[in-house]
Structure 1
Amino acid sequence: MSRPSAISLIVRSHKALLADADDRPSTEAERLRAAAADLTRLLFDVRAGRVNAFELNEPARMRVVISSD
């Protein structure tokens, strides 16, 4: 996957987690918000080129490998 596509995927996943958190009980909502915070850190690392492969667990499990440009 290209770096811009990976960034877009992370952003979409982040938005989905936060949207789901609004409709969940507090314990589950807190877990989803923590996962969204992890995605924020991942986003910065991917954008900076420090990460070239990662796994997403929410909303579906997938492994992403960023292709060299």
Structure 2
Amino acid sequence: MSRRSAIALIVRSRKALLDDADERPSAEAERLRAAAADLTRLLFDVRAGRVSAFELNQPARMRVVVSAD
């Protein structure tokens, strides 16, 4: 997957988690916000080129390999 597509995927996944957190009880919402924070760090790492492969569990489990630009 291109770096641009990988970043877009992470952004969509992060937004979905945060949207879902707004509708959940506080304990579950905190767990979802923590997962969104992990995606934020992943986003920065992918954008900077420090990560070239990763796994996402939301919305479905998938392994992403970032191709060279």
User: What interval of TM-score do these two structures reach, taking the shorter chain for normalisation?
Assistant: over 0.9
Q: Which residue of the partner structure matches residue 37 of structure 1? A: 37
Query: What displacement does 1:58 show?
Result: 1.4
Query: What displacement does 1:67 show?
Result: 1.0
Tell me, yes or no, if structure 1 residue 58 matches structure 2 residue 58: yes
**C-alpha RMSD over aligned residues:** 0.6
Greater shift, 48-57 or 59-68, is seen at 59-68
- Regions of 4+ moved over 6 Å: none
Distance in 1, matches of 2:51 and 2:22, equals 30
Runs of 5+ consecutive residues of structure 1 not aligned to the other structure: none
Q: Which residue of the partner structure matches residue 23 of structure 2? A: 23
Fraction of identical pairs, as percent:
86
Distance in 1, matches of 2:60 and 2:13, equals 9
TM (normalized to structure 1)?
0.96
Q: Which residue of the partner structure matches residue 68 of structure 2? A: 68
SS at match of 1:54: strand
Runs of 5+ consecutive residues of structure 2 not aligned to the other structure: none
Q: Which residue of the partner structure matches residue 14 of structure 2? A: 14
